A = this chain, B = another copy of it.
Amino acid sequence: MGSRARLAYLGPVGTFTEAALRTLPAAEQGELYPMPTVAAALDAVRIGEVDNAVVPFENSIEGSVATTLDELAAGDRLQVVGEIVLPVSFSLLVRPGTTLADVTTVATHPHAEAQCRRWLGVTLPDAAVTLVSSTAEAARLVGEGRHDAAVSAPVAAAHYGLTSLVDGVHDNEGAVTRFVVVSRPGPMPAPTGTDRTTLVAYIAEDHPGALLEILTEFAVRGVNLTRIESRPTGSGLGRYCFSVDLEGHVVESRVGEALSALKRVCADVRFLGSYPRADGLAPTTKPGVADGDFTAAASWLARIRSGS
């Protein structure tokens, strides 16, 4: 019987995404499936091969993961049911016995390279840096002797018989990556008081001020955004949709009314889920937008409409 969760994630094994996945209780007894791409991980959810997928969503240094935004915006609708925030910590992995002086080639993933660029420039100014498809792949190539060192998640060392020559080679302390847990549409996590809602809005026509209008719909209802990204719709420069995270849960009145408003004034809105925030922060709103305020106003409206 199906009691073990089937969980896909952006592989290969030995990356930060696997580490994120392993923070989930369901992962302990679950079947874990590393997938080659974000698209493959999400499609595995869509066709029912797995129950959930964990994919990277944004990074405090590199910004949003465009592929994830785009794959969630296209295809059958999926639902974000959770988020995981992990500190980013890169190590320089080498074959046992290698010293810094030996390192003339370094392999890593472009995002890792971006976050360790200054360290590499200072410490290994003459090393050739090769960009590969993942930090785990970089570690594998070092294990095979194809490169001298890999900038990688430390957990990859064990997988490929490497050792860490230097830990913490990232340029920015405090960098974090946010991952999302994705399922097929279905009952969503109950509101906790510290929730986040994610959606994609396609503006009705590309007129000046469209973004201002969208932001105003949120602002008048006291709904704060925590992230807004423009993404090209693929139909030409200057044609965008907006990927948005906001404070609150869709069952809350102010969020529901704001989403309905967006649905009315946009060409389309794709709701991607409401789920607990990893940071546990409560929304900052404004007076008059609590659920009780909406209920009282609705009663008043019914009363005046009935003429009493």
- Establish whether residues B130 and A237, one from each chain, have CB atoms under 8 Å apart when the complex forms: no
A110 to B300: give the CA distance in the assembly, Å. 36
Asked whether A96 is an interface residue with its Cβ less than 8 Å from the other chain, the reply is no
- Establish whether residues B225 and A264, one from each chain, have CB atoms under 8 Å apart when the complex forms: no
With A224-B208, A288-B264, A289-B264 known to touch, is A229 a contact of B232 (CB < 8 Å)?
Answer: no
- Establish whether residues B236 and A264, one from each chain, have CB atoms under 8 Å apart when the complex forms: no
- Establish whether residues B237 and A58, one from each chain, have CB atoms under 8 Å apart when the complex forms: yes
Interface residues of A in 224-261 (CB under 8 A from B): 224-232, 234-240, 250-251, 256-257, 259-261
Asked whether A308 is an interface residue with its Cβ less than 8 Å from the other chain, the reply is yes
Interface residues as binary, A292-308 with B (CB distance below 8 Å gives 1, 0 otherwise): 01101110110011011
Query: Which of chain B's residues has its CB closest to A253's CB?
Result: B264
- Establish whether residues A251 and B130, one from each chain, have CB atoms under 8 Å apart when the complex forms: no
Stretch at the interface among A6-14, A18-26, A212-220: A212-220
Residues on B with C-beta less than 8 A from A269 are: 300
Most buried by B among A186, A211, A251: A211
Asked whether A85 is an interface residue with its Cβ less than 8 Å from the other chain, the reply is yes
Asked whether A287 is an interface residue with its Cβ less than 8 Å from the other chain, the reply is yes
Stretch at the interface among A47-55, A149-157, A158-166, A173-181: A173-181
Interface residues of A in 53-68 (CB under 8 A from B): 58-63, 66-67
Task: Tell me the count of chain A residues lying within 8 A, CB to CB, of chain B.
Answer: 84
A305 to B220: give the CA distance in the assembly, Å. 22
- Establish whether residues A60 and B234, one from each chain, have CB atoms under 8 Å apart when the complex forms: yes
Residues on B with C-beta less than 8 A from A188 are: 307
Contact among B211, B216, B287 for A220, CB-based, below 8 A: B216
- Establish whether residues B131 and A130, one from each chain, have CB atoms under 8 Å apart when the complex forms: no
With A130-B133, A264-B288, A288-B264 known to touch, is A307 a contact of B60 (CB < 8 Å)?
Answer: no
Residues on B with C-beta less than 8 A from A271 are: 304
A176 to B234: give the CA distance in the assembly, Å. 10
Contact among B257, B284, B304 for A208, CB-based, below 8 A: B284
Asked whether A105 is an interface residue with its Cβ less than 8 Å from the other chain, the reply is no
With A63-B66, A187-B307, A301-B256 known to touch, is A234 a contact of B296 (CB < 8 Å)?
Answer: no
A198 to B117: give the CA distance in the assembly, Å. 25
Query: Which of chain B's residues has its CB closest to A238's CB?
Result: B226
Chain A interface residues (CB < 8 Å from chain B): 39, 58-63, 66-67, 70, 79, 85, 110, 114, 117, 130-133, 172, 174-176, 178, 185-188, 204, 208-209, 211-213, 215-217, 219-221, 224-232, 234-240, 250-251, 256-257, 259-261, 263-265, 269, 271, 279, 284, 287-289, 293-294, 296-298, 300-301, 304-305, 307-308
6 extra interchain contacts, Cβ-Cβ under 8 A, other than A85-B237, A237-B279, A251-B305? A60-B236, A178-B237, A186-B308, A250-B305, A260-B294, A260-B300
Pairs across A and B, CB under 8 Å, 7 listed: A60-B232, A110-B110, A208-B225, A213-B220, A217-B220, A260-B300, A265-B288
